[in-house]
């Protein structure tokens, strides 16, 4: 049977906007030595803004943005939402859109096949594209296998993100890992700014699972545990792989909230450390 004070712990957590799905997860939090975070929407606001539009010769900025926005109109990814927000012109109708996690998406526009996504998306289709060096998340656009140009978008860390890392460090958790599908330049810059201990970039959802499995192996050898924190878009598999999966309920997808062990209401990643504090207090009461 479960000691009564565990329910007390769950109650205390819920009052702080942290929904714990079982007392075992609260207990397990006491053994965590590694916390891995998704970047977009978890540590960063997930609100990108367009900072540059770089069309290929012969293509206008307007038509490049129009193509990108029309295709992104089929996606709910934070990148899509922001491109649509920054484009006020006419959206073209699309057909047969398909989205590929960690890549981007494609659709037909007036019978032309349009691909909108990252370098991986372009490489997969053997598109001869000009790789951008801009510090930002780069969205490349190709029409009928011809490169049209790139759009540079930038996101920024949440105010609460550096506090989230600092509070974990204060609790003696020094392995704070960023796992992102975004590029190396952006991932490293943000991880450095937040003083995280390591960063893995250009990851597909399945790569995030592989890395968490490696982290689990190392931690389990020391009888420790691994938590993963994500906003859920594409992160359901990794949420279930970690010992304890945290979903950011404010922005997160329903699938993520379902897959998670602990749901953080709102958008503050520092609530992970707060949950640990409650877990520690709860254990003291039990012992």
Contacting positions for Mg ion (CB under 5 A): 38, 40-41, 231, 233
- Look up residue 234 and give its two tokens: 């594409």
**In angstroms, what is the minimal distance from the CB of 44 to ligand ADP?**
8
Q: Which does 245 bind (CB under 5 to 8 A by kind): Mg ion, ligand ADP, none?
A: none
Where along the sequence are the contacts to ligand ADP (CB under 6 A)? 38-40, 72, 75, 77, 79-80, 102-105, 116-118, 137, 139, 180-182, 233-234
Which CB atom, from 29 or from 139, has the smaller least distance to ligand ADP? Answer: 139
The answer to whether the beta carbons of residues 226 and 242 sit under 8 Å apart is: yes
223: left (phi over 0), alpha (psi -120 to 50) or beta: left
Calculate the CA 53 to chain-centre distance: 24
**In angstroms, what is the minimal distance from the CB of 1 to Mg ion?**
39
Indicate which residue of 31, 33, 38, 214 is catalytic.
38
Known active-site residue 110? no
Name beta bridge partners: 179: 38, 200
**In angstroms, what is the minimal distance from the CB of 167 to ligand ADP?**
22
**In angstroms, what is the minimal distance from the CB of 95 to Mg ion?**
27
Residue in 207, 227, 160, 259 with CA at minimum distance from that of residue 249:
259
Residue in 46, 96, 55, 66 with CA at minimum distance from that of residue 235:
46
Report how far residue 32's alpha carbon sits from residue 222's, in angstroms, rounded to the nearest whole number: 10
Which CB atom, from 36 or from 168, has the smaller least distance to ligand ADP? Answer: 36
Which CB atom, from 55 or from 252, has the smaller least distance to Mg ion? Answer: 252
Q: Which does 137 bind (CB under 5 to 8 A by kind): Mg ion, ligand ADP, none?
A: ligand ADP
Going by their DSSP bridges, the two strands 198-200 and 104-109 should be labelled as unpaired
Catalytic residues: 38
């Amino acid at each position: 049977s479960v000691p009564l004070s565990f329910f007390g712990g769950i109650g205390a957590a819920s009052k702080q906007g942290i929904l714990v799905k079982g007392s075992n997860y609260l207990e397990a939090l006491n053994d965590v030595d590694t916390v891995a975070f998704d970047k977009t929407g978890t540590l960063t606001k997930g609100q990108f803004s367009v900072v540059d539009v770089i069309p290929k010769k012969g293509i206008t900025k307007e038509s490049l943005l129009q193509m990108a926005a029309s295709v992104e109109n089929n996606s709910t990814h934070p990148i899509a939402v922001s491109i649509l927000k920054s484009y006020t012109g006419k959206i073209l109708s699309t057909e047969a859109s398909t989205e590929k996690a960690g890549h981007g998406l494609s659709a037909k526009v007036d019978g032309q096949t349009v691909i909108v996504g990252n370098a991986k998306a372009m490489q997969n289709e053997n598109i001869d594209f000009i790789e951008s060096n801009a510090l930002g998340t780069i969205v490349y656009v190709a029409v009928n296998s011809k490169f049209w140009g790139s759009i540079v978008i930038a996101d920024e860390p949440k105010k609460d993100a550096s506090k989230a890392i600092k509070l974990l460090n204060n609790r003696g958790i020094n392995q704070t890992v960023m796992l992102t599908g975004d590029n190396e330049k952006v991932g490293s810059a943000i991880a450095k700014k937040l003083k995280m201990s390591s960063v893995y970039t250009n990851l597909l959802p399945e790569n995030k699972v592989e890395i968490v499995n490696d982290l689990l192996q190392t931690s389990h050898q020391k009888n420790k545990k691994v938590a993963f924190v994500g906003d859920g878009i594409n992160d359901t598999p990794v949420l279930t792989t970690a010992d304890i999966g945290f979903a950011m309920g404010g922005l997160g997808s329903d699938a993520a909230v379902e897959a998670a062990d602990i749901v953080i209401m709102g958008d503050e990643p520092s609530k992970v450390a707060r949950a640990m504090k409650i877990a520690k207090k709860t254990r003291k009461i039990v012992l």
